[in-house]
Amino acid sequence: GMQLELWSQQIIDGSRNTNIQIIDCSKGISKMEVPSFKVDASYGDVHPFGNPHYWLDPENVKIILGELVEGLSKISPQDREYFNRNAQQYSQLLDQKMSDWKALAEPLHGARIVTYHSSFSYFAHRFGMEVVDYVEPKSGIPPTPTHTKELIDKIRAGGVHIIGLEQFYEENTPASIASASGAKVVRLSTAVGGLPNTDSYTALVEYNLRALVNALR
């Protein structure tokens, strides 16, 4: 959804399989960072429909479950009850976990953080953090010396103690920024299995929260 998987359309078209169905899980999501301007290549990898990393907010997963139930039920209507039951069970699990996660995230309330890319906006918002800037000067654009220097100054002046680094980005530039500013680099995962101990969605959320909390100690 929200054009995160544009590459997949070419695969679907190339397969010439008219039976392939698409379920857009972003329907119903309260979208963040929707551009108020006309998007073109000069802005980097900006998504015209807003930040597409919505699944990292556990509350949004319940919305995703609803879209999956509807989409799968159109394909296999006789199994709607089965899909509904599984979705309800997982929603209940998320509600139970949220109580623990909110308690775990208490030290993060009001924390100002920097991330490499705009992957954690929904996650940060859910758990009371503020993402103040990115290692990238523009979304999808590699770090530049000018932006890096400005970011170091911003971190020093703004009480930023954490640089969140997604699992697939290089660490050299964030490590240099951290060394010059006094912040800590924290490896975070955007996907199940992206890092060790993230083998389920609930494990992913807990891993990211614990990594951030530990960095503030």
List the domains of the chain with CATH numbers.
109-216 (3.40.50.1980)
Residues 6+ apart with CB under 8 A from 28: 63, 66, 67
The pLDDT tens digits for 170-203 are 999 999 999 999 999 999 999 999 999 999 999 9
Averaged pLDDT, 25-50: 76
**Strand order through the sheet with 130-134:** 130-134, 112-115, 162-166, 184-188
In angstroms, the Cα distances linking 91 to 10, 61, 94, 197 are 33, 8, 5, 22
The per-residue pLDDT for range 82-128, each reduced to its tens digit, is 999 999 999 999 999 999 999 999 999 999 999 999 999 999 999 99
Residue 43 has pLDDT above 70, yes or no: no
The model's pTM: 0.90
CB neighbours of 68 closer than 8 A, spacing ≥ 6?
Answer: 23, 25, 83, 87
Q: Measured between alpha carbons, how far is residue 190 from residues 11, 86, 117, 193, 214 in Å?
A: 23, 24, 11, 9, 18
Q: Are 58 and 95 in contact (CB under 8 A)?
A: no
Pairing of strands 112-115, 130-134: parallel
